[in-house]
């Protein structure tokens, strides 16, 4: 059953990571419904995100290689630091700072208190409404080559909000981008690129932490994760394959359509979750 549950959760991760509906919220909810203990665990969530983030690297490989090479050339003085791709590299570094700092400061709360389903329900609804408002009133004229230091900072703090399950990493940054007047595709593309350092850093840290805890669990000095290494690995591979398909669909979809279906879905899921929690059908 643990193996089957891991497969299901891998599918959920791959299907929801790139859509603005919060993969961490879905892992919490589906994990609770499957009976995988309290929830799949922060480590399982972070490690399976390595799979979907690898899909980002492959999908945006040309963009990433160009940004990295131009950024490096600007460092050694071969090209001006005002080069658009070199600047984008610096902006990604700048935008990654908030989530690293806040993640370290609030690590205990992120792995415990903030995983309450009441919080998830609230953030699904509130940030769903914000996404709808931003998509409706946003100018949608700015491109990524018009990114500025203040805007990169705002993007960074918006991404950091995704430390709270239910906000959505892509949803938070896309919402901020729309409020600042960026095109839908530009906001989504930057959201995915910005997530790469944070997700890989968090996932690799959780891998190290899980290995360390596994070595000491026999002495009862830590609490083991719900899933073992094999189940987590399988879920991560599944998340990668499914995520690669979803990201291609999402980038094509938002170039022509609004975020309204995702807004409706978030609000509906949040309200259903409130009803289930209020009636005792689910425990927070």
Report the chain's mean pLDDT, rounded to a whole number.
89
Q: How far is CA 148 from the centre of its chain?
A: 23
> When comparing pLDDT for 95 and 281, which is higher?
95
- What is the Cα–Cα distance from 205 to 40, expressed in whole angstroms? 17
In this predicted model, what pLDDT tens digit does every residue of 114-148 receive, in sequence order? Answer: 888 999 999 999 999 999 999 999 999 999 999 99
Query: 220: pLDDT confidence band, cut at 50, 70 and 90?
Result: very low
Check whether 195 has a pLDDT greater than 50.
yes
In this predicted model, what pLDDT tens digit does every residue of 19-40 receive, in sequence order? Answer: 999 988 998 899 888 876 555 7
Tokens 């094999």 -> residue? 230
User: What is the reported pLDDT for 206?
Assistant: 74
User: What is the reported pLDDT for 2?
Assistant: 82
Mean per-residue pLDDT for 176-191?
96
Q: Give the Cα-Cα-Cα angle 38, 39, 43 (nearest 5 degrees).
A: 120
In this predicted model, what pLDDT tens digit does every residue of 87-118 receive, in sequence order? Answer: 999 999 999 999 999 988 988 888 788 888 99
Check whether 58 has a pLDDT greater than 60.
yes
Check whether 269 has a pLDDT greater than 60.
yes
Closest-CA residue to 273 (of 185, 165, 196, 172): 165
pTM of the prediction? 0.89
Check whether 224 has a pLDDT greater than 60.
no
User: What is the reported pLDDT for 219?
Assistant: 47
- Greatest Cα pair distance, the chain, in angstroms, is 64
User: What is the reported pLDDT for 132?
Assistant: 97
> When comparing pLDDT for 210 and 7, which is higher?
7
Check whether 7 has a pLDDT greater than 90.
yes
The torsion defined by the Cα of 192, 197, 198 and 200, in degrees rounded to 10, comes to: 100
């Amino acid at each position: 059953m643990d193996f089957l549950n891991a497969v299901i959760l891998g599918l959920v991760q791959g299907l929801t990571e790139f859509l603005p509906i919060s993969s961490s919220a879905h892992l919490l909810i589906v994990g609770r419904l499957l009976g995988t203990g309290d929830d799949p665990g922060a480590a399982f969530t972070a490690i399976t995100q390595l799979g979907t983030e690898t899909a980002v690297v492959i999908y945006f490989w040309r963009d990433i290689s160009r940004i990295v090479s131009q950024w490096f050339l600007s460092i050694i003085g071969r090209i001006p630091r005002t080069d658009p791709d070199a600047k984008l590299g610096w902006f990604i570094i700048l935008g990654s700072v908030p989530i690293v700092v806040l993640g370290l400061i609030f690590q205990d709360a992120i792995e415990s208190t903030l995983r309450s389903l009441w919080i998830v329900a609230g953030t699904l609804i509130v940030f769903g409404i914000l996404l709808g408002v931003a998509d409706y009133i946003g100018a949608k004229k700015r491109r990524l080559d018009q990114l500025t230091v203040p805007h990169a900072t705002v993007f960074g703090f918006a991404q950091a909000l995704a430390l709270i399950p239910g906000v959505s990493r892509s949803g938070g940054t896309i919402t901020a981008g729309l409020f600042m007047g960026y095109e839908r595709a530009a906001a989504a593309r930057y959201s995915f690129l910005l997530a790469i350092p944070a997700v890989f850093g968090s996932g690799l840290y959780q891998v190290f932490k899980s290995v360390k805890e596994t070595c000491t669990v026999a002495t009862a000095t830590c609490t083991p994760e719900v899933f073992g290494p094999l189940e987590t690995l399988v879920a991560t591979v599944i998340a990668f394959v499914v995520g690669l398909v979803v990201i291609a669909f999402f980038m094509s979809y938002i170039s022509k359509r609004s975020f309204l279906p995702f807004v409706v879905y978030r609000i509906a899921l949040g309200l259903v979750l409130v009803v289930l929690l209020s009636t005792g059908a689910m425990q927070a």
